[in-house]
């Protein structure tokens, strides 16, 4: 390794490490209680010195203040005399301090002051009681009058709407920790950005450590995109590997795609007046290198660059060139520095000098939009709109959103968002059927299963079809392996492009058991044990992933069910689960999960339709806690369609979290509510959802500590 490379590696390591440390410090300072701007009022009972004098006895309370006091007295009396006795009668047995089911301890809410501090709890109580899920079957039945009284009380005391003109800040949220000011590119974004920068498919980012998913479940969450010494080392290796291919010592041995990438890169050094290359001497080569760096850095850094920015990397070229490395080798070294710069590796949103809630600058907004929709950098059209400032015009901005939705790169929403939301990225890695029992399953089939889901989602987005097709449809996208797996023969389905081996095509189903995500093989394989299907895993998947309901972990000391269908077939598993639901500690969750899972038992581990297990007929009939009876995959799709508002609301929450790159807070409820109104008014079209999120206050603005 030559001295220039050693210096470059050391510089990159210190630069990235310093950037990571500064990010941590910035976020930490945002939540420092010793800073005057975030210091909270003293807790009750501690002396607080103030120049204000206490009100004198002569001061009279206003009628409004007296009314508030009277209302508080009445609410306190109602809770003590009516609500708390009902909770004690019906709820304390399961939701007491010893082992509270679902982590909900209602006994701890002893007086009205604690009611006000737990508003979100009452939202959950109201929903569960209204759905007849609480009290669970087998518990004491709630009197109708008590039920209506509790629902009415919970509705009055659930979390109220927030001011939609505000964002979470240290003034509106207790112990506000600050949001991540900058985050590094995740692996997929890194590959996509390099691909767009050099105009060829790039996969060197695959050598980077795997990215952790944040609390929202996505690898766009800045809180979990750490920058370790291993990350730095792998970034250096990836940059050097790629540039050795694009600018090799011997260009005559290049593959065609890298040869074209080299030609495009060197073309950036041409002058504006002519297209011919300048004479090959030191001064003109330096000028040419400067033009290449200037134009490349503008794209790579996603903003305008100054002469000072360019000089910082041109000096690397000069040192290498002056020692005789040659033009390509010297340029390769300087561009390596560009790819290791925090301005390339991090999505930076500079702080506003004004503080408080401020709009994002045009370059930060352009990057936020492009990495939301494309998981890559802004293209030239978007970058120019940011440079001129036109992107801050609402009409221009909306036009850019609509243009980007029509670009093929919008497929990243399926590749990145849908794959993580539906958790199919686990298939083939963390989740695999047993190789001995299911020899048909291999990496290629796993990829085909995942591609069906991704292509289906992208089809909805690109064709702007209703998102309700996720719940029920009569078509999907299959290749030969999946078509064979599904038992679809020639003439059994209408296929577009049939006969093109290993290519996916739109196939229309005649069997209504298929269609929608719950009819896809990826979901069935993902929610099975290696040796048998699982009604519990499948029911939990529908509850958590599609409906957005929380399912707590099972209580301790519960014996597991058999995990091999040779030991316990579907009928035996159903009998065991029905006994399971009679247990008070298990019934609350299993009454919600099991019926959904039973209806999916007509699919085996690989998603093939079946009617028997170990020679015994499979019972796919089910009944929800509210008494709604249904049967099999077709009945399940009807259940999902009936709860489309809940599913679409959860989908919206997930997409908002993916777009913002952080966990959601109550101030994001406005975006979710506005998105749902827009979806319901426009047949649940994806374009409406994306536009509402991209034009929302939390997306275009951010809070800056003063």
Residue-level pLDDT at 562: 59
Residue 651 within any structural domain of the chain: no
How confident is the model over 675-697, as pLDDT tens digits? Answer: 999 999 999 999 999 999 999 99
Q: Considering only CA atoms, which of 335, 322, 251 is closest in space to residue 289?
A: 335
- What sign does the CA torsion over 580, 586, 591, 592 have? negative
Helix axes 380-388, 394-405, angle to 10 degrees: 170
**Judgement on whether residues 584 and 508 belong to the same structural domain of the protein:** yes
**Judgement on whether residues 206 and 142 belong to the same structural domain of the protein:** no
**Judgement on whether residues 542 and 617 belong to the same structural domain of the protein:** yes
Indicate if the pLDDT at residue 33 is higher than 60: no
Helix axes 282-300, 380-388, angle to 10 degrees: 90
Among all chains, which residue has been given the structure tokens 């275009």? 700
Residue 578 within any structural domain of the chain: yes
**SS3 letters for 265-319?**
HHHCCCCCCCCCCCCCCHHHHHHHHHHHHHHHHHHHCCCCCCHHHHHHHHHHHHH
Residue-level pLDDT at 368: 97
**Judgement on whether residues 141 and 201 belong to the same structural domain of the protein:** no
Residue-level pLDDT at 571: 59
Residue numbers of the domain that contains 133: 80-157
**Judgement on whether residues 594 and 545 belong to the same structural domain of the protein:** yes
**Judgement on whether residues 125 and 194 belong to the same structural domain of the protein:** no
Residue 564 banded pLDDT, cuts 50, 70, 90? low
Whole-number Cα distances in Å, 285 to 162, 290, 315, 317, 326: 60, 8, 13, 10, 10
Q: Which residue has the higher pLDDT, 280 or 85?
A: 85
Residue-level pLDDT at 18: 58
Residue 409 within any structural domain of the chain: no
Is residue 38 within 8 A of residue 170, CB to CB? The reply is: yes
Q: Which residue has the higher pLDDT, 399 or 163?
A: 399
518 burial via Cβ count (<10 Å: 0-12, 13-18, 19+): buried
Residue 50 banded pLDDT, cuts 50, 70, 90? very low
Angle at alpha carbon of residue 409, lines to 458 and 445, rounded to 5° = 50
337 burial via Cβ count (<10 Å: 0-12, 13-18, 19+): buried
Q: Which residue has the higher pLDDT, 454 or 357?
A: 454
Indicate if the pLDDT at residue 34 is higher than 50: no
**Judgement on whether residues 192 and 335 belong to the same structural domain of the protein:** yes
How confident is the model over 179-190, as pLDDT tens digits? Answer: 666 899 999 999
Indicate if the pLDDT at residue 174 is higher than 80: no
Indicate if the pLDDT at residue 17 is higher than 90: no
Residue 241 within any structural domain of the chain: yes
Give the C-alpha separation, 30 to 17, whole Å: 20
How confident is the model over 367-423, as pLDDT tens digits? Answer: 999 999 999 999 999 999 999 999 999 999 999 999 999 999 999 999 999 999 999
Residue 57 banded pLDDT, cuts 50, 70, 90? very low
Is residue 389 within 8 A of residue 352, CB to CB? The reply is: no
Residue-level pLDDT at 351: 80
Q: Which residue has the higher pLDDT, 130 or 378?
A: 378
H or E stretch at 588: helix 584-598
**Judgement on whether residues 517 and 549 belong to the same structural domain of the protein:** yes
Region 572-594: what's the mean pLDDT?
Answer: 71
* DSSP letter (8 states) at residue 603: B
Residue 693 within any structural domain of the chain: no
Q: Which residue has the higher pLDDT, 260 or 81?
A: 260
**Judgement on whether residues 318 and 197 belong to the same structural domain of the protein:** yes
Percent of the chain with pLDDT over 90: 57
Q: Considering only CA atoms, which of 578, 496, 590, 502 is closest in space to residue 540?
A: 590
Residue-level pLDDT at 111: 75
Residue 240 within any structural domain of the chain: yes
H or E stretch at 495: strand 494-495
Residue 132 within any structural domain of the chain: yes
Q: Which of 591, 615, 642 is the last residue of a domain?
A: 642
Residue 396 within any structural domain of the chain: no
**Judgement on whether residues 328 and 464 belong to the same structural domain of the protein:** no
426 burial via Cβ count (<10 Å: 0-12, 13-18, 19+): middle
**Judgement on whether residues 475 and 545 belong to the same structural domain of the protein:** yes
Region 263-292: what's the mean pLDDT?
Answer: 76
Whole-number Cα distances in Å, 703 to 167, 179, 706: 7, 8, 9
Q: Which of 295, 320, 348 is the last residue of a domain?
A: 348
Residue-level pLDDT at 149: 82
* Longest alpha-carbon distance in the chain: 96
Indicate if the pLDDT at residue 545 is higher than 50: yes
Residue-level pLDDT at 706: 65
The residues that bridge with 477 in the sheet, in sequence order, are 506
Please provide the average confidence, as pLDDT, over all residues in the chain. Answer: 83
Residue 52 banded pLDDT, cuts 50, 70, 90? very low
Residue-level pLDDT at 271: 81
Angle at alpha carbon of residue 181, lines to 175 and 185, rounded to 5° = 130
**Judgement on whether residues 20 and 91 belong to the same structural domain of the protein:** no
Is residue 616 within 8 A of residue 650, CB to CB? The reply is: no
Residue 135 banded pLDDT, cuts 50, 70, 90? confident
Residue 36 banded pLDDT, cuts 50, 70, 90? very low
Q: Which of 307, 331, 348 is the last residue of a domain?
A: 348
Q: Which residue has the higher pLDDT, 616 or 205?
A: 205
Region 240-253: what's the mean pLDDT?
Answer: 95
Helix axes 187-198, 229-246, angle to 10 degrees: 20
Give the C-alpha separation, 179 to 704, whole Å: 9
* DSSP letter (8 states) at residue 543: I
Residue-level pLDDT at 567: 57
User: What's the domain count of the chain?
Assistant: 3
């Amino acid at each position: 390794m030559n001295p220039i490379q050693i210096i470059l590696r050391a510089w990159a390591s210190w630069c990235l490490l310093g950037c990571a440390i500064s990010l941590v410090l910035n976020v930490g300072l945002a939540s420092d209680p010793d800073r005057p701007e975030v210091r909270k009022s003293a807790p009750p009972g501690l002396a607080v010195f103030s120049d204000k004098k206490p009100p004198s006895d002569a001061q009279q309370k206003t009628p409004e203040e007296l009314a508030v006091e009277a209302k508080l007295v009445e609410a306190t009396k109602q809770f003590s005399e009516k609500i708390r006795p009902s909770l004690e009668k019906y709820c304390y047995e399961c939701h007491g301090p010893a082992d509270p089911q679902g982590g909900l301890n209602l006994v701890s809410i002893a007086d009205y002051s604690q009611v006000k501090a737990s508003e979100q709890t009452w939202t959950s109580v109201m929903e569960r009681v209204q759905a007849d899920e609480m009290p669970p079957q087998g518990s004491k039945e709630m009197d109708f009058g008590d039920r209506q009284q509790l629902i009415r009380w919970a509705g009055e005391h659930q979390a109220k709407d927030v001011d939609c003109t505000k964002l979470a800040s240290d003034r509106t949220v207790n112990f506000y920790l600050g949001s991540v000011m900058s985050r590094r590119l995740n692996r997929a974004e890194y590959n996509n950005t390099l691909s767009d920068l050099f105009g060829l498919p790039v996969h060197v980012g695959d050598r980077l450590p795997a990215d952790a998913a944040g609390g929202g479940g996505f690898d766009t969450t800045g809180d979990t995109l750490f920058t370790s010494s291993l990350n730095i080392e792998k970034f250096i290796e990836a940059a050097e590997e790629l540039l050795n291919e694009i600018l090799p010592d011997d260009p005559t041995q290049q593959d065609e795609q890298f040869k074209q990438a080299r030609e495009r890169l060197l073309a950036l050094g041409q002058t504006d007046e002519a297209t011919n290359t300048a004479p090959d001497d030191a001064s003109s080569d330096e000028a040419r290198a400067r033009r290449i760096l200037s134009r490349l850095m503008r794209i790579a850094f996603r903003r305008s660059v100054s002469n000072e920015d360019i000089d910082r990397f041109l000096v690397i070229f000069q040192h290498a060139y002056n020692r005789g490395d040659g033009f390509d080798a010297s340029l390769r070294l300087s561009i390596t520095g560009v790819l290791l710069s925090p301005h390339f590796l991090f999505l930076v949103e500079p702080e506003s000098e004004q503080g408080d809630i401020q709009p994002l600058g045009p370059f930060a907004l352009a990057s936020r939009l492009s990495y939301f929709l494309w998981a890559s950098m802004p293209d030239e059209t978007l970058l120019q709109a940011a440079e001129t400032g036109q992107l801050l015009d609402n009409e221009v901005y909306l036009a850019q959103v609509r243009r980007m939705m029509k670009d093929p790169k919008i497929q990243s929403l399926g590749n990145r968002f849908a794959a993580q939301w539906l958790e199919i990225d686990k298939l083939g890695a963390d989740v695999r059927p047993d190789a001995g029992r299911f020899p048909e399953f291999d990496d290629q089939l796993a990829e085909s299963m995942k591609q069906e889901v991704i292509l289906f989602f992208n089809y909805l987005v690109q064709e702007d079809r209703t998102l309700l097709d996720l719940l029920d449809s009569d078509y999907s996208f299959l290749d030969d392996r999946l078509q064979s797996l599904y038992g679809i023969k020639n003439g059994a389905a209408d296929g577009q492009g049939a006969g093109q081996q290993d290519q996916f095509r739109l196939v229309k189903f005649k069997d209504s058991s298929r269609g929608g995500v719950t009819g896809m093989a990826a979901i069935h394989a993902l929610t099975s044990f290696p040796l048998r299907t699982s009604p519990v895993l499948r029911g939990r998947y529908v509850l958590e992933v599609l409906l957005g309901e929380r399912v707590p972990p099972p209580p301790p000391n519960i014996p597991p069910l058999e995990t091999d269908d040779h030991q316990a077939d579907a009928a035996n598993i159903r009998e065991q689960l029905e006994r399971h639901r009679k247990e008070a500690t298990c019934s609350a969750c299993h009454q919600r999960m099991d019926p959904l899972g039973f209806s999916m038992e007509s699919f085996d581990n690989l998603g093939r339709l079946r009617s028997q297990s170990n020679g015994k007929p499979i019972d796919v009939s089910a009944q929800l806690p509210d008494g709604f009876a249904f049967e099999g995959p077709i009945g399940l799709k009807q259940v999902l369609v009936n709860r489309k508002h809940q599913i679409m609301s959860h989908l919206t929450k997930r997409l908002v979290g993916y777009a913002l790159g952080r966990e959601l807070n109550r101030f994001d409820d406005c975006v979710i509510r506005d998105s749902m109104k827009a979806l319901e008014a426009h047949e649940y079209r994806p374009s409406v959802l994306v536009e509402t999120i991209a034009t929302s206050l939390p997306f275009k603005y951010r809070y800056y500590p003063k």
